[in-house]
Structure 1
């Protein structure tokens, strides 16, 4: 993968007054990187002397010794391959040296000034920019960073520590990285430096846009952070940013990355939609607020939810209850309608009724069998033919009931459909895809599940029923149960596991990654659970269904866009009649 650059933010112990010993410590630290084979190694500012020399930094002997040492360092590090950036004293002040395989590629002052361009070079097709200032003040240099066109921002630092400084540095880097869509690599030195009159603490970190990929802080020795940075993800992240258009300078030179034979080194969770449990609370609060605002602005004080006993309608009911709480309305303002049909199991029917009672909503039970059978007779459909007409007629009947109840009572129909269903088209056009306002559409199925589990404590009376709903197989329940009364139509047996499909969905929508890259990451994340052949099959299924389902999405109800990954009509556009050939050919070319 040529767009993946392996970076190492490395520190080594310096020996005050003994630059040769500092150099040997640096070489030893670099050799400990071993078979991780980084493409780029960033060392702290004042690599050989530390930051506490004071007036002695201007002494010519240090510059003379450094002049002898840095070519030696470049030669010793050559065997390790990759780029090595470090600084050393020189006449006129500290200078930065960039070596690759014993060759000096850059020699420039190790300083950064406001208004002056940042030095750049190209690695792996991306632009790296050098920053030698205080990382705690990084946001002041936003214009210079943007003008540099940096994909990788290399922060070479050695600043005095004090109370709260380390946290402030990390906050600054995270904010700048997220706001400007760059990967920030920090190497902050200090191990072995003096503690009087200032104290130094070593720290390393890698932030790729809005995510922390690696972090290390001095505990028992100099810290190092090594990880893989993806230039495709950086480019994809930026597509959603509105950054100023500045003229990009030409990098000083370009070097390729080493590809092949390297095991992926980056955190890769199976659910990329959520990084911290607290975000689930925030997400639910945003859902509640979006519905409450819609009710407040329209003056409507009643809600209707089609309650099936499944995950999506469970979350929609809890959001509706939360909106009533926020507006000071009784929860009985929510009418939960259960509409058992040909595929409804006793388990989901019971859970729906008990959940409604526990939440405090008003319950209405309206079986749809007779109405659907009359409809079959009207259109001449054989009820024994369990085809798409058999299924969709039930979904459309349920939607008609909810919309008419809402008209009768002056209420809003709360949509229950989620992002996964919208992406895969696993919903009925003119059926469950319709509502007055949708609260789940920005959440994939895996996130709906996680939020419901998080809400068990908040809705304590409903917790036992929420738990059983979480344990129930996901199903539209449109086909009759099996001979034992159990759910026969299981969505994940039809489409595949939602955790894998949502993983594909995230990387497709969030970063626009090509099929080959998504397959690579999916194999790394799920390799112990699924075979490469299974992942390839589901990747193809995803693209086929995704492209074929846009006609449903353009008719979706309004919603609040509350996540970065969305298919809302106001935030996502594509032709409704576009084929999937381009994607499927790319999938077919993947070797398993």
Structure 2
């Protein structure tokens, strides 16, 4: 493939498994199908200009829902059929698949139908199954249920068209697109038709509705749509009737929503007085990936699925759909909203605390040991340990915290470590390991032991190894438990020293906490004032410091910087989330990252004290290759031996006993080769 064609393919949303969908509320003229048809075509043309691939209209949108016994008038029904054919004819020039509502006569029965149209052809007609006839509803007075359908085809304008509630509409050009249609009340019943359709492979569920508005009903609709999309692991489009319906006894709010696996992607304003529509890009590839993992979903399918007919729709994706119509968070582990982020931090902290409490109680150990560097990770571990001891009623002095300065420790971090330990009133200790590390360098004939400035991996790991040796022997001596401090991001990259303090411990409370969540967690502790004021001042100082392992002496006044060596943590956490959680191909991950960083900061997930970073596609591709080589090929052996620690989020953990099992000697070739799809 040429460079230009590869670039065009890469930048299209359809290449990466997305599909642009819309829900529309058309201004309706009850009993005037020709005017309704014109309005439907007008909205469809607008959607076509925005590269929408599917647009769904309300229930009985060609006739209007609120015409009561006029549904039995031949003049009206014939007018509906004529108007339907006019929409079909107009669709020849329109890009999206159209789903519109109409009352249709089939086998001497009248059905409340959804009609699926594309490029001048009707591909299927779906009748409503559950007809409400209670309180304000009288649908059984007018319509027959899909249960009473005799034929599996309907003849319209001399053409036999697939007819029935068992239709799934597939798009061969867009793998993963499989649409099922249901109508209003079908969603309100205990087992909606879309549930069985999803178990048979439908990923896009469309609902044409004319649900009238009453106080509180919109919240219930949201609950139903969110729940159905989540249970079915599907996209759910809900298009409700709006302005123009008769208000003789009822009113209509034109409510529309688009959900994906329980997440709201788009929602309309309510009570608009004209036609309007909403759109969003469904991630079909993510839905399919999610279903791959859910064994219980497929177990249910074995019990509940029904034979379904497949109808192929020759939809052609737009080539110039480059910008996603959905938010891609730069910080998938960190909620953007202030209140939501605070709630997440509170929950993560509670999980960490409870995990450590249970481990201490389960082992009968009443002392904990930590190495305190003055950095963000050991700080969070110490805060968790302090609260765990308080809740267990253990004295804080039995938290044996050690600062272990060595060849590269700065005065600043040493001072911070001391102040943190003292202000928290834990057992504060210091063991200077400079001489021990120097002796080892001499004993192994390392150049640094002879006075040469050779700062290699051996030089770094000698210091890390000495710290671990002291902590574990101190744990033996005091009959205590070593609390780990390394985070999820470091474990993903293998940015730990095998078998020593930043890799090994007796229990690691930070094991599932990504680096991008560390600062928000400590910031939350400050904002919530869960510790005494002097502690909060120290935490503020820690939050302003860059991430540094301090294993190489400062050179020309500049301390060692972790991200200068291994790349930006915000990118690595982004890569980790989308690779481990959803199994996305590298090219899709790069596309999502480009979308996330294509405009100035679009979420507040990062810590407010940091300047917002920017990354272009070249940088994204570079660091993604770096991440893949380390995550897939070179660091799994460390994760295979990682200690216990609590899982804290749906983004997963890397424990070999929990979310991530992988061989330690696998090659990353397949992933690196796929990177070639990135221009």
1:32 aligned counterpart, secondary structure = helix
Counterpart for residue 199 of structure 1:
251
Counterpart for residue 109 of structure 1:
127
Q: 455, 467, 473: which is aligned to 1:398?
A: 467
Counterpart for residue 169 of structure 2:
121
Matching of residue 167 in structure 1 with residue 219 in structure 2: yes
1:161 aligned counterpart, secondary structure = coil
Q: In 1, distance between residues paired with 2:231 and 2:384?
A: 31
1:363 aligned counterpart, secondary structure = strand
Counterpart for residue 156 of structure 1:
208
Q: 572, 577, 580: which is aligned to 2:665?
A: 577
Q: 269, 274, 281: which is aligned to 1:228?
A: 281
Q: In 2, distance between residues paired with 1:179 and 1:404?
A: 51
Q: In 2, distance between residues paired with 1:67 and 1:250?
A: 25
CA 168–373 in structure 1, closer or farther in 2 if over 3 Å, else same: same
CA 300–60 in structure 1, closer or farther in 2 if over 3 Å, else same: farther
Q: 494, 498, 512: which is aligned to 1:429?
A: 498
Counterpart for residue 62 of structure 1:
76
Tell me if the contact between 2:236 and 2:260 (Cα under 8 Å) persists in the aligned partners: yes
CA 400–249 in structure 1, closer or farther in 2 if over 3 Å, else same: farther
Compute the displacement of 1:437 (Å). Answer: 1.1
What aligned pairs does 1:210-221 form with structure 2 within 5 A after superposition? Answer: 210-221=262-273
Q: For residues 440-466 of structure 1, what are the alpha-carbon distances to aligned partners after superposition, in whole Å with 9 as ceiling and x for unaligned?
A: 221211122222222212335233322
Q: For residues 86-133 of structure 1, what are the alpha-carbon distances to aligned partners after superposition, in whole Å with 9 as ceiling and x for unaligned?
A: 111222121111111121111231335899964211132221111224
2:65 aligned counterpart, secondary structure = coil
Matching of residue 535 in structure 1 with residue 553 in structure 2: no
Q: In 2, distance between residues paired with 1:180 and 1:325?
A: 44
Q: 422, 434, 440: which is aligned to 2:510?
A: 440
What aligned pairs does 1:371-390 form with structure 2 within 5 A after superposition? Answer: 371-383=436-448, 384=452, 385-390=454-459
What aligned pairs does 1:438-587 form with structure 2 within 5 A after superposition? Answer: 438-458=508-528, 459=530, 461=533, 462-484=535-557, 486-487=558-559, 489-528=560-599, 529-547=614-632, 548-564=634-650, 565-570=652-657, 571-587=659-675
Matching of residue 413 in structure 1 with residue 498 in structure 2: no
Q: In 2, distance between residues paired with 1:102 and 1:511?
A: 37
Q: Which moved more, 1:349-358 or 1:541-550?
A: 349-358
1:270 aligned counterpart, secondary structure = coil
Q: In 2, distance between residues paired with 1:426 and 1:138?
A: 52
Q: For residues 31-66 of structure 1, what are the alpha-carbon distances to aligned partners after superposition, in whole Å with 9 as ceiling and x for unaligned?
A: 333631111111121213443333433333332221
Q: For residues 393-438 of structure 1, what are the alpha-carbon distances to aligned partners after superposition, in whole Å with 9 as ceiling and x for unaligned?
A: 1112112222222222232211111111111110110111001111
Q: Which moved more, 1:506-515 or 1:129-138?
A: 129-138
Counterpart for residue 9 of structure 2:
none
Tell me if the contact between 1:125 and 1:254 (Cα under 8 Å) persists in the aligned partners: no
1:332 aligned counterpart, secondary structure = helix
CA 62–340 in structure 1, closer or farther in 2 if over 3 Å, else same: farther
Counterpart for residue 320 of structure 1:
385
Q: For residues 311-337 of structure 1, what are the alpha-carbon distances to aligned partners after superposition, in whole Å with 9 as ceiling and x for unaligned?
A: 211211122123223333343342222
CA 441–254 in structure 1, closer or farther in 2 if over 3 Å, else same: farther
Q: In 2, distance between residues paired with 1:58 and 1:352?
A: 82
Compute the displacement of 1:544 (Å). Answer: 0.7
CA 105–143 in structure 1, closer or farther in 2 if over 3 Å, else same: closer
1:535 aligned counterpart, secondary structure = helix
Matching of residue 332 in structure 1 with residue 397 in structure 2: yes
Compute the displacement of 1:196 (Å). Answer: 4.5
Q: In 2, distance between residues paired with 1:9 and 1:178?
A: 19
Counterpart for residue 37 of structure 1:
51
Counterpart for residue 258 of structure 1:
317
Compute the displacement of 1:352 (Å). Answer: 2.0
Q: Which moved more, 1:394-403 or 1:547-556?
A: 394-403
Q: In 2, distance between residues paired with 1:467 and 1:323?
A: 22
Count of matched residue pairs: 589
CA 424–251 in structure 1, closer or farther in 2 if over 3 Å, else same: same
Matching of residue 311 in structure 1 with residue 376 in structure 2: yes
Matching of residue 341 in structure 1 with residue 406 in structure 2: yes
Matching of residue 75 in structure 1 with residue 86 in structure 2: no
Q: 344, 347, 367: which is aligned to 1:279?
A: 344
Q: In 1, distance between residues paired with 2:231 and 2:649?
A: 16
* TM-score, structure 1 as length reference: 0.93
2:266 aligned counterpart, secondary structure = strand
Q: In 1, distance between residues paired with 2:45 and 2:315?
A: 21
- Larger radius of gyration between Structure 1 and Structure 2: 2
CA 53–323 in structure 1, closer or farther in 2 if over 3 Å, else same: farther
Q: Which moved more, 1:555-564 or 1:216-225?
A: 216-225
Q: In 2, distance between residues paired with 1:52 and 1:436?
A: 68
Q: In 2, distance between residues paired with 1:228 and 1:264?
A: 7
Counterpart for residue 18 of structure 2:
4
Task: Give unpaired runs (5+ residues) of structure 1.
Answer: none
Q: In 1, distance between residues paired with 2:353 and 2:246?
A: 54
Q: Which moved more, 1:13-22 or 1:101-110?
A: 13-22
Q: In 1, distance between residues paired with 2:175 and 2:294?
A: 21
* TM-score, structure 2 as length reference: 0.82
1:456 aligned counterpart, secondary structure = helix
Q: In 2, distance between residues paired with 1:545 and 1:250?
A: 46
